[in-house]
């Protein structure tokens, strides 16, 4: 019996199809003449030919049965690169575990795996050598970034440490890309941000947290704050309730939180340098990060897109009405709103502004 394509009589009979001329073909999906292919590759090759035409024959056996083919894949990569004259690979090109490859790399100047390991553990090794093994301090604790834990429980494998990962995530969150700004009658409105009628903005971050700040309109009305009193991490804020307090020379204005949620991070820069809030209200002047508890419903109560532009326009008209009858229904062209409207317009009372635009006069006791 002649060898069939799949090594069994039944399969061979099934797959030894006959073409129109009565010649045997390898298979119905492989219309190649059996005898012709076998004469070139040998019977073993055809025997192991699978339906996808990819042979699974062990390479050494294949090489033996296919003397007519020059398989260049057996050359070592160092030979292919021209570094050495001749070497055939006997490890299926598994260079990572090849001792010859490692030896060549060392010879070329690359440090050995042991040396690399020693480099990686350089700082950790120094930490271990400096401190007793039982007293290995957490590097973030030593730097003052955290108050606990004091001792490293992960043998300085920081990538596996929750504290380290949390700090890394916080570091990434502090960067806020510059948004596209629309000028609405001299006031800046950031595109893609949600706005609460109390002039706080909310920006959805990629990880589901929400970044919160004060919009440009409120910043320009109340001017440069002397201090900002933020909540603490872990506090729960409800939408519409007081979230933080802006203070200027003893006068305070509470602002409403635009969303409900737990405070996860604070922008400590704003407490140290409150002027950054006014300079870049939509970027580095953000106030806090919130983990929202009722995001979908809360967002429905906020202004967004075209609605927010119209709202700021209306707020501008409201502001002009407060200035006096000569400015009522005024429409300006050109220029920008001044940075400190409260200071430049003595007729505008602090509490009156807070009540008119922040809607928190009633909340302050």
Partner 1 sequence: MSLKKKRIGVLALGQLPEHALDIISFHIKNHLDVMPRTLPALDNPEYAYNEKRFQYDAGIIIEALEAMRFSDVEKVIGVMSIDLFIPIFTHVYGEARQGGNCAVVSLFRLKENSDGSASPAVLIYKRAAKVALHELGHLFNLLHCENEKCLMHFSGCVKELDQSSPTLCEYCAIFLQDKLRHR
Chain positions contacting partner 1, by CB under 8 A: 183-186, 306, 309, 313, 319-320, 323-324, 326-338, 341, 344-345
Contact in structure between 342 and 221 (CB atoms under 8 Å): yes
Smallest distance, partner 1 to C-beta of residue 335, A: 4
Give the pair of three-digit tokens for residue 220: 């320009």
Dihedral sign, Cα of residue 292, residue 298, residue 299, residue 302? negative
Smallest distance, partner 1 to C-beta of residue 348, A: 9
Closer of 208 and 335 to partner 1 (Cβ)? 335
- In angstroms, the CA 92 to CA 341 distance is 76
Residue 176: Cβ within 10 Å count? 17
Q: Give the angle subtended at the CA of 89 by the CAs of 85 and 91, to the nearest 5°.
A: 155
Closer of 41 and 188 to partner 1 (Cβ)? 188
Among residues 221, 216, 225, 215, the alpha carbon closest in space to that of 349 is found at 221
Closer of 116 and 352 to partner 1 (Cβ)? 352
SS3 call for 157? coil
Closer of 181 and 297 to partner 1 (Cβ)? 181
Contact in structure between 131 and 155 (CB atoms under 8 Å): no
Closer of 45 and 342 to partner 1 (Cβ)? 342
Smallest distance, partner 1 to C-beta of residue 324, A: 8
Report the b/e string of 53-65 with b at 16+ CB within 10 A: eebebeeeebeeb
- In angstroms, the CA 229 to CA 247 distance is 8
Smallest distance, partner 1 to C-beta of residue 131, A: 60
What SS3 string covers 270-308? Answer: HHHCCHHHHHCCCCCCCCEEEEECCHHHHHCCCEECHHH
Smallest distance, partner 1 to C-beta of residue 215, A: 16
- In angstroms, the CA 138 to CA 163 distance is 10
Closer of 84 and 181 to partner 1 (Cβ)? 181
Closer of 245 and 345 to partner 1 (Cβ)? 345
Smallest distance, partner 1 to C-beta of residue 344, A: 6
Closer of 168 and 310 to partner 1 (Cβ)? 310
Which residues partner with 257 through β-bridges? none
Smallest distance, partner 1 to C-beta of residue 216, A: 13
Smallest distance, partner 1 to C-beta of residue 332, A: 5
């Amino acid at each position: 019996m002649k060898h069939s394509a799949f090594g069994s009589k039944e399969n061979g009979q099934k797959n030894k199809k006959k073409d129109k001329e009565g010649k045997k073909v390898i298979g119905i999906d492989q219309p190649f003449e059996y005898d012709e292919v076998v004469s070139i590759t040998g019977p073993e090759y055809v025997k192991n030919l699978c339906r996808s035409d990819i042979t699974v024959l062990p390479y050494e056996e294949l090489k033996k049965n296919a003397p007519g083919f020059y398989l260049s894949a057996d050359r070592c990569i160092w030979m292919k690169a021209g570094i050495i004259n001749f070497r055939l690979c006997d490890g299926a090109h598994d260079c990572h575990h090849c001792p010859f490859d490692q030896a060549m790399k060392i010879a070329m100047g690359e440090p050995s795996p042991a040396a690399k390991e020693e480099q990686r553990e350089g700082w950790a090794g120094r930490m271990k050598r400096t401190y007793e093994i039982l007293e290995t301090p957490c590097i973030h604790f030593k730097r003052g970034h955290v108050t606990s834990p004091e001792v490293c429980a992960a043998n300085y494998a920081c990538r596996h440490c929750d504290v380290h990962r949390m700090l890394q995530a916080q570091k990434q969150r502090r960067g806020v890309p510059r948004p596209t700004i629309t000028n609405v009658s001299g006031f800046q409105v950031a595109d893609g941000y949600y706005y609460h009628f109390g002039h706080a903005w909310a920006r959805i971050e990629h990880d589901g947290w929400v970044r919160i700040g004060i919009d440009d309109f409120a910043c320009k009305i109340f001017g440069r704050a002397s201090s900002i009193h933020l909540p603490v991490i872990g506090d729960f804020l409800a939408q519409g309730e007081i979230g933080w307090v802006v203070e200027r020379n003893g006068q305070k204005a509470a602002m409403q939180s635009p969303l409900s949620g737990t405070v996860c991070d604070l922008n400590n820069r704003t407490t140290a340098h409150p002027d950054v809030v006014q300079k870049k209200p939509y970027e580095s002047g953000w106030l806090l990060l919130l983990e929202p508890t009722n995001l979908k419903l809360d967002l429905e109560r906020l202004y967004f897109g075209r609605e927010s532009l119209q709202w700021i326009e209306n707020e501008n008209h409201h502001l002009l009405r407060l200035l006096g009858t000569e400015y009522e229904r005024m429409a300006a062209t050109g220029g920008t709103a001044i940075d400190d409207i409260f200071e430049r317009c003595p007729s505008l009372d602090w509490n009156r502004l807070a009540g008119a635009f922040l809607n928190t006069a009633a909340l302050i006791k």
